[in-house]
Amino acid sequence: MGGLLLIVLPAIAFVTALISGIFGMAGGLVLMGALALIVPVSAAFVTHGLIQMVSNGWRAWLNRGDIVWPIIGWYALASLIAGLVFGFVAWVPSRPAVFIGLGLVGLSVWLPAKRFRLDAQKPLHAFASGLLVTATNLLAGVAGPLLDIFFVRTELTRHQIVATKAFTQVFAHLAKVLVYGLPLLFASMASEVPWLAIALAIPLTMAGTRAGKAVLDRMSDRHFLAWTRWIVSAIGAVYLVRGLMVLTAG
């Protein structure tokens, strides 16, 4: 698997970064599911976190002029608190639990977000999004669709949404790397993380992100919102079925 992973992971990283570069999410769902199939769960969390930190960070940099900084400040504070809390809990979800979690996160795009009256431009709501999204990220590996609930009622453009969400996700993925990565280091199990494959995937992640931005620039806000919901929910449905099948088979 080691040699194959050197080819598969960079390829998946490019495709998923391309998807996220266009829609601001969905790519992370695909990447996490793929990693959960081919490496141990803890290693999957760390690998996904490292690649997604680069992907989201690069996407935020490419759209840096559109970042809404007040949202970032409140989100980062909440993300730090969530990471510290989870750091004291020595628990790693099982593979079926990860897939079920990914499925539920994907299908969360159908929650009646407008009824919740959540708005990331409000400080308290931005702080709440940091707690919820980071906690979910630490449980399922991905939480992008939940983050979207806090942006549905904002007055932001598609570029501001993609840029701001990308930067907030850097903090969520950093928490994941620290919470799951440090125990691996202390347990001398760092070899479970495919470091070389990650190194090869990073430049392709950046290339996919840039290509995605080019597509995003040509989309309308209406098509952006419509396509995002259907793509993410389809991915979520597949993962939910997969998780339930593995759970019942085991």
DSSP characters over 175-233? HHHHHHHHHHHHTT-GGGS-HHHHHHHHHHHHHHHHHHHHHHTTS-HHHHHHHHHHHHH
pLDDT of residue 110: 81
Place of tokens 């470091």: 195
pLDDT of residue 82: 94
Q: Along the 250 residues of the chain, how does pLDDT read in single tens digits?
A: 567 788 889 999 999 888 877 776 678 888 899 898 888 888 999 999 999 898 889 889 988 999 999 999 999 999 999 999 988 887 788 899 999 999 998 888 787 766 778 899 999 999 999 999 999 999 998 887 888 889 877 888 888 988 999 999 999 999 999 999 888 776 666 677 888 999 999 999 989 988 988 887 877 766 666 677 788 888 899 999 999 998 888 6
- Supply the range of the domain harboring residue 81: 2-249
pLDDT of residue 118: 87
Place of tokens 């599911």: 33
pLDDT of residue 250: 64
Distances (CA, A) of 112 to 116, 117, 130, 161: 7, 10, 20, 19
> How many domains does one find in the chain?
1
Question: For residues 151 and 164, what is the distance between their CA atoms, to the nearest angstrom?
Answer: 10
Question: For residues 231 and 189, what is the distance between their CA atoms, to the nearest angstrom?
Answer: 36
